[in-house]
Structure 1
Amino acid sequence: MAERIMYVQLKTGFNTDAGPAWISRVRFSKTWRTAYFQGRTLRRWNSFDGNFVDVDTDEEFWLSGPKRDRSDARYGRGVPSVDEDVQQEYAAFLNGAALPGRQRG
């Protein structure tokens, strides 16, 4: 199963880019249509605001790779919380290192 450090933001119930956001480790299925994040199962979903939906709660999420300039939110500049287990890798990424699994792009 592929694993990536991703920017994840909850979209349901919040104004544009006002939902909570995380820099977190996300696992993906072989087809990349299902993501596993903090105990949730998300399936690929295309809507105005989100690109994944929680299969149990129907909450929409936006997942994308993190950006070094920290402009991760689609329309704003929210500040995500960084999960403890990715803090060192994320800090190295902000300082120019490649993310795990992304050494070639």
Structure 2
Amino acid sequence: MPERLMFVQLKSGHDIDRGPSWIGWVRFSRTWNTAYFRGRTLRRAGGLFDANFHDTDTGERFWLSGPKRDRTDTRYGPTRPEVEPDAADAYRAFLAGAALPGRATG
């Protein structure tokens, strides 16, 4: 399964960009339509306001994207994402200019 370092934010139950967020490893299905993060199965969904995936068990909505070097992942959020311990080294390297793992360019 492909795995990428991603920004993940919970959108359900929170004002725009106020939900908890993480930088961590996300595994994807072969078709990239299903993502696996923190024991959750997230399915790609169109037509959702401010979200691009939903939890298949709870229906909660999430935004997944590649992290940004300027750390503006949450447009209006007051806090930075929590960096998962197993992703910290790769994230620091990315912030320092390295390409994201699994991508040709950063």
Separation in 1, partners of 2:95, 2:76: 19
CA drift at 1:49:
1.5
- For residues 10-89 of structure 1, the aligned pairs below 5 Å read 10-46=10-46, 47-73=48-74, 75-77=75-77, 78-89=79-90
3-state SS of paired residue (1:32): coil
Separation in 2, partners of 1:102, 1:22: 20
Separation in 1, partners of 2:17, 2:7: 12
Q: Give the TM-score, by structure 1 length.
A: 0.94
Count of residue pairs the alignment pairs up:
104
Q: Give the TM-score, by structure 2 length.
A: 0.94
Separation in 1, partners of 2:15, 2:94: 29
Letter in 1 for 2:87: V
Separation in 2, partners of 1:61, 1:19: 9
CA drift at 1:102:
1.2
CA drift at 1:76:
1.6
Unaligned runs of 5+ in 2: none
Letter in 2 for 1:60: R
Separation in 1, partners of 2:104, 2:89: 16
Post-superposition Cα deviations, 1:72-96, rounded to whole Å, max 9, x if no partner, equal: 12x3244100000000010010000
Superposition misfits of 4+ residues, deviation over 4 angstroms: none
Q: Percent identity?
A: 62
Q: 1:104 to 1:94 in 2, by over 3 A?
A: closer
3-state SS of paired residue (1:42): strand
Separation in 2, partners of 1:51, 1:103: 23
